[in-house]
Amino acid sequence: MSFLFRLAARSAWNRRYTLGLMLLAIALSSAMLLGIERVRHEVRDSFSQSVSGTDLVVGARTSPVQLMLYAIFRIGGATNNMGWDSAQKLAKNPAVAWTIPLSLGDSHRGFPVLATNGDYFKHFHYGDGQPLQLGEGRVFGSVFETVLGAEVAQRLHYKLGDRIVLSHGMGSLHLTDHADKPFTVTGILARTGTPVDRTVHIGLDAMEAIHLDWEGGAPLPGVHIPAEFVKKFNLTPTSITAVLVGLKSRARVFALQREIASGQGYKEPLMAVLPGVALDELWQVVGIGENALLVVSGMVVIVGLAGLVSAILASLGERRRELAVLRSVGARPGDVFLLLALEGLAVMLAGVVLGAVLLTLALFALGPFLSAQFGVTLHPALPAAGELQLLGWTVLAGFVASLLPGLRAYRLSLADGLTPRI
């Protein structure tokens, strides 16, 4: 048996270029499979970690999913706002450590505009408790200053000192511009991989300032308040979209949630949702993307296995005489079958290992670029338990697939292999 293995090894060396190409194809398929699996998990983690460290999201009574969509993901709009008095009352609750008021409704070239205050940059966290960081400049300090998300600045080619004009309403078509009150870019946030990257940030007072001469969603006829005079008016908001709440003790979260739901002391009906619970519910709605990536992963495996089987079957025609010689020196049909199956298993194992190495090297080289350009953070690391299990099933599938060429080799007769073809 050892003699047969030495012969098989020498045969493999003589076919090293063909086997090398086969090995490279398996390695690339394995690397793509692992890469898709990591991207799939990263997308889900990024989705679930769009907000971190926030105990409650409070807004006008609606569905939890809708509240999360417009408060965290800036998708859609609130059917009702909550009063500023209610937000102030909530901030003064003894159980509350901090609050972040959010006001939405305007946009800039398709990107949502979020009005907030300085607490947003102090207390808003994402991912594993990561704070917002300024890539350039500073936060807004006066009324008509703005801080851009990384994607907004990149796609629209903005830099510090540029002046931008906001539009009334969400979307990108047929909107009325606040052209008389432009904003100056004072800061650009570092990329986070969250909806923050696609947001234009202004102050709450700025949101009030650009709507001083508006009513009912339209400019007041014959009324115009120049930008230099807006500070003469009271710019305290009367209503906002939602409030992010951080508690002094998380043990109080359910008690405060019930208190808000009961409406004790609030002028309008409010609701408070736990971000983690609402995000899980929201993922069930938008998780079709994860299923699509799973299908792509399966197709990658199938293509890789098909390539393996095709390559081995194609090489059998060239190896018929070699296999016949092995039979003539004492190899049984079962030995030939075993050698072909083990060859497929060896190529599959080597390809999977090489694929994992290639992915690791690619992440070392391209990881910072992917994070900066797309907000997808992929760290070079050893395969996780789930990935090892996936690779194990892939190797097993490759071994089973290689049984087909082994079965065909088993059926080749000695006479067929030694008889020249005319």
Q: Kindly report, residue by residue over 80-123, the tens digit of the pLDDT.
A: 889 999 999 999 999 999 999 999 988 998 899 999 999 999 99
Same domain flag for 279 and 357: no
- Structural domain range at position 77: 51-286
C-alpha pair distances (Å), 56 with each of 176, 237, 242: 34, 22, 10
* Tally of domains within the chain: 2
Same domain flag for 69 and 28: no
Same domain flag for 300 and 242: no
Same domain flag for 128 and 32: no
Same domain flag for 250 and 298: no
Question: Which residues lie below 8 Å from residue 201, measured CB to CB, with a gap of 6+?
Answer: 113, 114, 115, 116, 120, 140, 146, 147, 148, 149, 189
Residue type for position 223: V
Question: Which residues lie below 8 Å from residue 178, measured CB to CB, with a gap of 6+?
Answer: 106, 165, 166, 167, 168, 210
Q: The tokens of 339 are what?
A: 């050698």
- Quote the CA–CA distance of 129 and 205 in Å, as a whole number: 28
Of 224, 252, 286, which marks where a domain is finished? 286
This prediction's pTM: 0.70
Same domain flag for 121 and 132: yes
**Which of helix, strand or coil describes residue 57?**
strand
236-295 confidence digits (pLDDT tens): 999 999 999 999 998 899 999 999 988 777 888 999 999 888 887 777 776 677 677 778
Same domain flag for 148 and 41: no
Same domain flag for 293 and 348: yes
Residue 72 has φ and ψ, to the nearest 5°, of -105, -45
In our burial notation (b when 16+ CB lie closer than 10 A, e otherwise), range 393-407 reads: ebbebbbebbbebbe
Of 243, 263, 286, which marks where a domain is finished? 286
Of 264, 286, 308, which marks where a domain is finished? 286
Q: What is the pLDDT of residue 318?
A: 63
pLDDT at 422 over 50: no
Helices (H) and strands (E) in the chain, counts: 13, 19
Same domain flag for 193 and 280: yes
Which residues share a beta bridge with 327? none
Q: The tokens of 365 are what?
A: 């080289």
Mean pLDDT of the chain: 81
